Structure formats: C-alpha cells, structure tokens
Chain A
Amino acid sequence: MRKTAGISIALFATTLFVANLAFAAPESDLHIPFEHYKLQNGMRVVLSRDTAVPVIALYVIYDVGARSEEKGRTGFAHLFEHMMFEGSANLKKGDHFKYVQSNGGTLNGSTHPDYTDYFETMPSNKLGLALWLESDRMRSLAITPENLKNQQEAVKQEKRLSFDNQAYNTAIIDTWPALTYSNFQSAHSLIGSYEDLEAASVDDVSKFFRTYYAPNNAVLVIAGDFETADAKKMVEQYFGNIPAQPQPKRPDMTEPVRTEGKMMTVTDQHARVPAVVMGWPAPTRHSPEFYALGMLDAVLTAGQSSRVQLDLVKGKQSILQFEANPGWPFASLNDYKDPAEYAAFALYKPNFKPQQIVDQIQEEIDRIAKEGVDQAELERVKAVLRFQKVTNLQSSLERAKVLGLFELMDGKPEMVDQDFTNLFAVTSAQIQAVAKKYLTAARHDVLVILPAPPKPPAEAKEGGK
C-alpha cells in the first residue's frame, strides 16, 4: 500500500490538488453516512452529506476501462475519456472546462483497467451546474473528426510525457502486463500503441459511447454540502430521462492457472537506478483470503515500521524505495478487481544483484508464512490503517470516490466501513495461510529493469527494451 511512484492516466496533469486515493479503513470512530438508490433508467445514485465546508464533489463512474478494449484498439478507453470533454449537445468544445473553472471548481477524469471516472468539485451552490454538465455529455456527446484528431494528439503527447520519456513507466505499463498476464484483456498496454491510437475512428467513439456510457452502466455520487430532497430532485431532472442501453457484457478475462513464474530483464535508457517488479496471482475480491492479503501487504509495506522498511531498507540496506499493492500498479484494495495480482516494485542499490532482491523480498514473505505475525505488530498495522482511512476521507471528493467504487463494484457503499471490519478480523493464521497458498516463490513473475549503458548520441533513439 505504500506509494512512491504509481501509474495513472488522466485527462490532464493537476498542479493544484494531489489526491491520494489509498484505501478504506476505520471502525466506529469514523462512519461515513450515505444513502443509495436507483433511477428508473438503471443509473445508481449515492448521496453522502456533510455540510462542514460549503463545497460539493460530483463523481460519475462508468463501468468500463482499459480491460474492455478490443484488439487493435489499445488505449481506446483513455482516448475516449478525453473525448468526454470535447463538447455535447448544449456545450461547445471547451465549455466544460470554462463552466467548472469560472464557477470556482476543479475537474478531471481518469481511466483505469476496470472503470473510468469523472469529477467536479465546486462551491456547494453550483451542484445544479455540475449535474447539468455531467448529464449533457451522458445524454448527447458530440463526436467530431476534428475533436478526435485533436485528442489523439493530446493522448500521444501524454504517452510521450508520462511513459516514453520517463524511467520505469514504459516497463511498468507495457512490459509488465504482457509478461505477467496471458489474456489480451489484461496483458495489453493501457495507454495503447501509437498505431492503435491513430487507428481509432469516429465510429469507434460513437459505438463505445452507446455501449458503455449509458446511465445503467454508471454510478453517480454527490458528497458534501447539499440538501437531500433538492439533490434527488435535480438528479431526476437531469438524468431521469436519459435512455438505458442493453447492459454491456464484460469480456472474458480468464487467466490460465499459473504453474511457474517467469523472469525477464529489460534495459531502460532513462533509468539510472535498477528496479525489480514482482507479482503473484491474488485471491478473489472481498474473499476472506483477500482481506488476509490486505493485512499481509500492510505488515510488509505500511507505515514506517513495516517489514520491508526495517529489514531491507534499513537492515540489509538493499532497497532504496518500494511500493506494493493488491492490484499494483493500477489499483489498490478499494478498486482491486479480478483477475489481478499482488505486486511490488522496488528501486534497489546497484551493489546488489536482481536475484538477491527477489530472494530477499520472497524471504520476508516466507518468514511470515512460517512464523506468522505477533499481536503487537498486528495492532500497530491496524492503527496505521485506521489513520489512513480517516485521513483519506477528509475531502468530499475522496469520500465520493470510495463510495462510488464500492457501489460500482459491489453494489455496497457500506463497504467503506465494512471493509475495515473485515480487515481487522484477520488473524495471524489467515495471513500465514494466504502467504503459503498465493505468495510462493514458485508463483512469482519477475521483471528486472536495468539502466541502459550510456550510448553515443547517434544511436540513442533506438533505446527502450
């Protein structure tokens, strides 16, 4: 759960607010109130009121992400996300930005393997405006060749900025999924290839919109300062008559059972410090084993006194920085969706060999499998998790995101509290069991990312893997 780098693809880079969606935790000391219901067209609505600061967050999440992309259209879900800001029946290109910003709000959108989300945060008297903006594009997105062309360029530029020109990120977003997943849906690049991005047509955009951007495939969350009756009325007025569409099918994402792990080494021309990625296929979302894995991850990587920090960063002095998550690099406990992995990323010191780092991390897990975790350590980890929950849920937007994810994935916003209870019920024996069953040396895939030796400028452009 520790974050140092992480990967995200969003509409634009934010410089004002950095949101850390980590994960749900505490018990009685922080209860997030909500109510949820469904419109007649199938759109799910979650309301969570808190009037302390006169702001609201409107969060709309669609049940489609990069893992629903078809062959030849890698990167399309994200390209489509960009198109959502290009105008609709009553909004010209640029109007969405203008309305939100000139009314004192912020906005963004982001694409994930299994969902795509959009938000506006505004002074609370602008809730109606935010609802109108979201409803107009859900009802009537304007899809033109000019807008598509322009956003193809923006996305290609985003790919250059966030991936091609950065250390590690291309290996993480392109090489790692291809190494560790067998099924195209999970194995392909989420940012896409230039070729596929170029090939996207206006027809593709229209079809994707019709198929996935229907009210019955969406969840709308309002969090913050509003009057419930007002909010319900406006939601009905703006979204109630957007027609439902046939419920889209999720593609087959089945992965073959992994019998042995793979190891691969790539060189990265931008990296100066070596890194390893390790991953293991992980248990089903919200199963008892899933929560045991959540606690195991926290023991390994949460807080300042985690096993990796004390034993490897300090003790063996082999690791420089690390992060890990169920669902890494795109997800964490909240938005983990099957099939997925538990994966870790570590920058390590050049006086170690990659195999040593892999062995050291595996030894930490094996030791937990063998010896378990004592009560004092478990209590410490729980305190860290409680703290993280309270901290993360301070803003309306973070509350809206967590509630929206649990509604979308589970139909249960109450998981915002229940998840924590489930995590806390995990015993040392369950942690041992999940380590033994899932996180074994035989099952891990490994990607080693080594700095490329310096090249004379003439051949520098070849680079990459």
Chain B
Amino acid sequence: MRVWTMLMLAALPIAAQTVDLTKPPVSKDPRPYKLPPVFETKLPNGLTVMLAEDSRFPLVTARLVFLAGNKRDPKEVPGLAASVAAMLMQGTSDRTYQQIAEDLDGLGGTLTTGTGADSLTVESSVLAENAGKMLALMADVSRNAVFPTNELTLHKQNRKQTLMVQHSQPAYLANEEYRRVLFGDTPYAHIGPTAESIDKIDQKALETFRDTYLVPNNAWLILVGKLPARDEILRTVTTQFGKWDQKKVPAYLAPKPPAPKRELVLIDRPGSVQADMRMGRLAATFNDPDYFPETVGGIIEGGGPNSRLFLDIREKRGFAYDVHTEVAPLADGGTFSAVTQVRNEVVADALQGILEHLDRMANQPVERQELTDAKSYANGVFLLGMEPQRGLADKLVQIKVMNLPKNYLETYTTKINSVEPDQIEAAAKKYMATGNDTIVVVGDAAAIEKPLEKFGTVRVVKQETGKQEAARPQ
C-alpha cells in the first residue's frame, strides 16, 4: 500500500497547475429556481385545499392545519390543544390505536399530530401510491377520534412523565419561563402543560375543543408531491373531507401583552455546571413590516457561525459552544432572543458581552458587507429548504396560519434584498435594545446568583418538578 501511494506522487496532474489556489474562484451566475405553482380551491364546507405538484420523489406530503393552537387553551387547562392533538391518534369510531398504527405503517408513511402557539396540525408523508389511503386515515383521525378512556389515562400518565423529562432540560426551563415573563397573563405565555392542568383533562374537554375548532372552515389541507391527476385527487379529497359540517368558530382577539421592563429571572438548578441564558424582548409578527429587517439583523447578530455573537463570544473569547439569536414570529406577537450556555465562571462577562452586542445593533448601523452577507445567507437557506417536500409544505402552512400575502414565497428574496441598515437599526431599537428586556438564566444559584446581581434584581425561582412552586423569596 505504501509503495503504491508513493508511486502515485510522481505523477502530479498537470491540470492542477492551471488554477490559482490562493484565491476563491469566480463563480458563475446563480441558476434561477422557480417554485412549483400552487393550485388553490375551496370545498363547499369551507375547507381550503392547496395542491403543489413536485414529482421528483415518489412521495406525498400532506398537512391538515387548523387555527387551533395552544393560544386557544382554556386558561385553567394549558396544554389542552396539545393533548387533543395527541389523542386524535389513539382511536376512532372506525379504528383502535393498533389498527391506526398498522394501517399507517402498511402504507409506508408517517402520520403525526402536533400544536404550536397558533395552530394544530395533522401531518403526513407517504409513498405516493398510497396517498389516497393516507387521506382516508387523516380524515378518520381528524373527524372521528373517540378519545378512549384507557388511552386517555395512559396519555395523561405519560404526559406527566414527559413533563418531568422536559423539566430536567435547562433549555426547556429557560424557554418556558421566558415566554411566561414576556407574555404575562396572555395566551402565548405557556408552551406546555403543568402537572395540574394534565389532571384536569377529560374526554369532555377534548371533545369540546375538537368540536369547536377542528372544523373544515377553520382548516387548510395542503398536499405537496407526486400527486394523482388534479380531478382524481380532488375527488378523493371531497370523498374524505366533503361531508364534514362547517360550524362557526369563536372569534379570537389577541390580548395585549404586558409593557416591557427589565426582568431578570434565575431558575435554580442545583448541580448545573453551566448557565443557560435566554434574553430578549417581544418582537414583530410575521406580517409586520419590521419582520424582514429583524430577520436580517438577527442573522448579522447571531445567525450561524459568521455572526457577531458567534465570532466574538465563542471564537474570540471561548465562553460558549453555542451562541445564537432566534427570531420567532407568531400570528399576533413574536419574540426575539439571544441564547447561549456558558460555564459558571464567565456568566457575568458573557452576559455583559451579549448585551453590548444587542445595544450595538440598536445604536449603530450595520456595515454594508455584513448586510450583503446576511442577505445571501437568508436567501441561500431559503433555497436549501426547498429540497425536501416538507420545505414547501411547511412554508404554505406558514402563509396560511400567519396570514401572509399570497405571493410571500415569490417575493421573499426581493424583500430580504431590500432591507436597509436604517431599518435594521430601527427594528433593533424596538426588539433588541437592552434595558427593558427579559433575561432568564438556568443554573446553580449558589454559583451564579451573585455575579448576576450587577444586571438587576434577581428573582430566583426553583427548578420546576412538574409541580408549580412558589418563587423563593430572596
């Protein structure tokens, strides 16, 4: 082997001499990409149907999305929508859980349900030849779930255990508290259930929620992939979803979140060897004109390894492995955050450093080059997201749930490219500037409470144990 490789060395290829290895090559023009056209229609019962043909793979991706997210949870039962979603899969008037599971696997596909703050989604992806049968299964779980008692008991038991697992995770704890502080007493304040609210869930609560919100005029059915002919797929959709009665859905008025002020919360997690930090403010909704400047600014600040925070907090100062920003727009609100995890000894320095970066965004225009780079990144990531079918399917869901303009996808790149430094600075003044921000830290209070005190009054909270516990007075 050794002899062989050494011999090869003698035969250096001549072509290698002809390119300048010290510089990156000049690239050709990008090849344009055209999104597949989206056909939209409405059944007489109000169900909107969207079809996008993408025949690259023998797959169909489906989304049945309802405006029935966690924000519709009754105040005393946070987590109800998510439990409805989970229980849809556990048995219908036609099928037991086992039959659903076996039918589903036999089709070669997945069928899952879940909720976000604004929506409840039944998601599926399936081998193309079985798309029709999968739609029948989707319709069955969406319309005919019976919430069997034994399955509900198991669901509640397991949900409590899972909540305990989540409450062992610092990132979950930080996010849970962050939303609670930012949204105060309003429906976006919770990201999951509590042990008490799980106890309150019964069949009747599930049925009431389902019968109120899971109705066709409150839903969109989105199909992307290698679809049967248009009239054939529409026939199937009508058979499965056409005889579903529409019903008036209660109006939703988004309450106003609390006025922003500096809040510094420390969730005591004894034994933590590092501090998980999440800081930021309420921010733009998806269809706010600020959304694009906030997004581009978020990239410059903490989107990926070429961002200011990554290059400074991690690469230069070695405080963190992960430091990034999150722009999280919702239908009637939104949050911006900077997130990191640092070792206990550098908590104050790291926090100080990040806060300074946030204020710099609010007080100084970004540089031209940074701006150009961030735009390329946003546009490139957008394109990469279009490779798998779920990329387009989820974007179509977003357009509907967030009430975005019809041409959102076609104009995305143009809107990113039109962002100017002054717009970013203005958005950063509203959403990134420190002072009236929320800072949540999860860590060992014995080690990090003191260094945090220079940033304000520290409210120390006990790590959740699945039970709500009162804050420990300090």
Contacts and interface: CB of A to CB of B under 8 A. Distances in A.
A395 interface: yes
A121 B384 contact: yes
Given A90-B23, A157-B342, A101 B162 contact: no
Q: How large is the interface on A (under 10, 10 to 19, 20 to 34, 35 or more residues)?
A: 35 or more
Given A13-B321, A394-B387, A216 B5 contact: yes
B443 to A, nearest CB: 9
A21 interface: no
A355 interface: no
B446 interface: yes
Contacts of A101: 304-306, 373, 376-377
A304 to B, nearest CB: 4
A139 B58 CA distance: 41
Contacts of A440: none
Contacts of B106: 379-380, 383
Interface string B45-63: 0000000000011110000
Interface in A14-60: 15-17, 29-30, 39-42, 50, 52-55
Contacts of A246: 1-2, 5-6
A391 B125 contact: yes
A236 B15 contact: yes
A173 to B, nearest CB: 15
A126 B169 contact: no
A90 B21 contact: yes
A383 B108 contact: yes
Given A129-B25, A379-B106, A386 B127 contact: yes
Interface in B292-327: 303-306, 310-311, 314-316, 318-322, 324, 326
Interface stretch (B27-35, B69-77, B189-197, B212-220): B27-35
A428 interface: no
Contacts of B276: 165
A347 interface: yes
A198 B376 CA distance: 38
B306 A98 contact: yes
Given A104-B376, A305-B105, A30 B58 contact: yes
A128 B24 contact: yes
Majority secondary structure, B binding face? mixed
A236 B315 contact: no
Contacts, number: 296
B259 interface: no
Contact of A54 (B9, B33, B326, B466): B33
A460 B444 contact: yes
Contacts of A387: 59, 108-110, 125-127
A90 B158 CA distance: 55
A240 B16 contact: yes
B164 A272 contact: yes
Contacts of B119: none
Given A244-B9, A320-B162, A387-B110, A160 B341 contact: yes
Contacts of A380: 102, 105-106
B379 to A, nearest CB: 6
A97 interface: yes
B30 A129 contact: no
Interface centre among A52, A149, A463 (most CB of B within 10 A): A52
Interface in A261-280: 269-273
B108 A463 contact: no
Interface stretch (A66-74, A309-317, A335-343, A407-415): A309-317
A90 to B, nearest CB: 5
Contact of B271 (A150, A269, A384): A269
A103 to B, nearest CB: 6
B98 interface: yes
Contacts of B165: 167, 272-273, 320, 347
A323 B17 CA distance: 51
Contacts of B326: 15
A236 B13 CA distance: 8
A233 B16 CA distance: 9
A372 interface: no
B157 A317 contact: yes
Interface in A380-424: 380-381, 383-384, 386-387, 390-391, 393-396
A463 B271 contact: yes
B108 A386 contact: yes
Contact of B274 (A13, A160, A271, A302): A160
Contacts of A162: 321
Contact of B311 (A94, A160, A165, A225): A94
Given A40-B13, A237-B19, A317 B154 contact: yes
B100 A122 contact: no
Contacts of B311: 94, 97
A251 interface: no
Interface in B56-101: 56-59, 97-98, 100-101
Contacts of A225: 31
B167 interface: yes
A250 interface: no
Contacts of A157: 274, 318-321, 341-343
Nearest to A247: B1
B27 to A, nearest CB: 5
Given A53-B387, A150-B315, 7 more contacts: A90-B22, A132-B23, A317-B154, A383-B108, A386-B108, A387-B108, A463-B271
6 contacts: A158-B321, A272-B164, A349-B157, A379-B106, A387-B110, A394-B387
